Amino acid sequence: MFYAFLFKLFHSPAFCSPFLPSFFPCPFLSLLSSFNSNTTNIITIPIVTLRCVGGEAAGASSLAPKVGPLGLAAKKIADDIAAQTKAYKGLRCTIKLTVKNRQATIEVVPSASLLVIKGLKEPERDRKKEKNILHNGNLTLDAVIKMAQAHRGRSRSATLAGTVKEILGTAHSVGATVDGKSPKDIQQAITDGTIKVE
C-alpha cells in the first residue's frame, strides 16, 4: 500500500513538473517498477521442524496447529512420519517437513545422539516400561567417522576432525566406548595428531 502511494505520488504532474520537463520520464519509474516486479515473484516454501518418537504416529491434536494452516491433514502427516522413521523406532527424532503445493516432504534430521544410539544396534525396548536406560556398547572409529560425515551439515566445526570429536563427546555422554577405549582418549589422540582424520 505504501509503495503504491509513492508510485502514484512520484508520477503525478504536480511532483514531476517543478523539476523536470513534462516529456521527461520520472526518475523513480524504473526503480519502483523493478521493485514491484521483484516482490511479486517471491515464493515462500514453509518448513516445519518437529520432534517425535521414531516409528510411532504422533497425536493429530498436537500436529494440527502446525500443519493445519498449511492445508495438510494432521492424521495423514502423522502416519507418513511413522512410516518414514521406522528405522529409528523408539528413539526421539527431529523431523523436517518441507511443504510445497500442499504436499509435505518428510526428512529425518539426525542428531549426534540419535546417530550414536542407533550405531550401538541395541535391541528395541518399550520406552513406556523401561526408563533411564544405560548405553554401554562399543563403536568402531570408522563408524564414528561415518556418523561425523552424516552429521557434518549440522556441525559447528570447520573440519571433519572437529565433527568427529563432537560425535566422540556425545558417545562419552551416552556411555559408549570406541574401539574398547574411552572416547576422551580418542579425542586426545586426534588433538595430538596420533590419529589422523581426513
Q: What is the pLDDT of residues 65-77, one digit of tens each?
A: 888 888 888 888 8
pLDDT of 19 > 60? The answer is no
Q: Is there a contact between 186 and 166 (Cβ–Cβ < 8 Å)?
A: no
Q: Are strands 47-53 and 138-139 parallel, antiparallel or unpaired?
A: unpaired
What is the Cα–Cα distance from 61 to 72, expressed in whole angstroms? 13
pLDDT band at 31 (very low <50, low <70, confident <90, very high): very low
Q: Give tens-digit pLDDT for 124-183.
A: 766 666 666 667 788 889 989 998 888 888 888 888 888 999 999 988 888 888 888 888
Instruction: Supply the pLDDT for residue 138.
Output: 87
Can you say whether the dihedral through the CA atoms of 75, 77, 83, 85 is positive or negative?
negative
pLDDT band at 40 (very low <50, low <70, confident <90, very high): very low
Which domains can be identified in the chain, with CATH numbers? 2-40 (no CATH), 47-109 (3.30.1550.10), 112-192 (1.10.10.250)
> Which grid coordinates belong to 147?
556418523
What number of helices (H) and strands (E) belong to the chain?
Answer: 9, 5
Rounded percentage of the chain residues whose pLDDT exceeds 70: 72
